[in-house]
Structure 1
């Protein structure tokens, strides 16, 4: 049976990727009580990693698309942590976002809106969250965006 989150994803024309495997020595998520801490998800799509630096190689719109892809990977990890049952997701609590940026690029919050807006569209009120958006000189593998998150589960 399809749950409301899966129905909303389909209505938006979105599909979750398979939960990405860790790219180094860590676990994809840790649950403690009703909180799920999901490790950083790097920007990637069906073609592979989304690479580049905001302010040099990518504009804000491209960064927003990369951030939205991170959000889909976060949801894929939540689904994996819930044994495939996304209906157990109560809300998004917090996102920590890192944007690969040039020294003079200051639109990190606009880039991370790509993830925040997607979660709001998919989850409604449960998608509203606290957030950090930080510019960094480089990210692993040269990806454009990396986002980790905390989620409340039932």
Structure 2
């Protein structure tokens, strides 16, 4: 596929993976009223699930940031599966990042910046979005970060 966004990803050295199948009773994305809702994506890479553990206890902010970026890459893989072409992304509207946090860790926004910065890197101003960064006591498979997205369809 030769779209502007695919070319941008290639220039960044990123190849989108095959989107992950749901691990429970849900769908990976829903398109409704011109919006695309992407279910929470975890840091799954070529080697499988990565970045397992708590940020602030075993994993540091940089580990969390890289995990959040990997979640964002997986969001784009789901978006491409849903839309067929990432040039159909009108805007990244909102990201919600969940950080598996040690009890005294309170830098969740710095961690979720890994996903936010990636979206701006790929989409420019269309990648700027509203956001929540939430600390939680546990995430599926023990991963450090999970990120979900709301995307406007062009």
TM-score normalised by the shorter chain: which range applies? Answer: over 0.9
Deviation at 1:52, TM superposition (A): 1.0
Q: What does the per-residue CA deviation read over 1:50-95, in whole Å, with 9 as the maximum and x for residues that have no partner?
A: 211101111111111000000001011110001x211111110001
Query: What's the secondary structure of 1:66's corresponding residue?
Result: helix
**TM-score, scaled to structure 2:** 0.97
* Aligned Cα root-mean-square deviation (Å): 0.8
CA distance, structure 2, for counterparts of residue 138 and residue 42 of structure 1: 13
Structure 1: which 5+ residue stretches go unaligned? none
Aligned length: 153
Query: What's the secondary structure of 2:30's corresponding residue?
Result: strand
What is the aligned partner in structure 1 of residue 2 from structure 2?
A: 2
Matches within 5 A, 1:1-154: 2-50=2-50, 51-82=52-83, 84-154=84-154
CA distance, structure 2, for counterparts of residue 13 and residue 56 of structure 1: 31
CA distance, structure 1, for counterparts of residue 64 and residue 25 of structure 2: 27
Structure 2: which 5+ residue stretches go unaligned? none
**TM-score, scaled to structure 1:** 0.97
Deviation at 1:43, TM superposition (A): 1.4
CA distance, structure 1, for counterparts of residue 10 and residue 104 of structure 2: 38
Deviation at 1:130, TM superposition (A): 0.2
CA distance, structure 2, for counterparts of residue 127 and residue 20 of structure 1: 22
Which stretches of structure 1, 4 residues or more, deviate above 2 A after TM superposition?
none
Q: What does the per-residue CA deviation read over 1:21-70, in whole Å, with 9 as the maximum and x for residues that have no partner?
A: 10111000111111001100011211111211101111111111000000
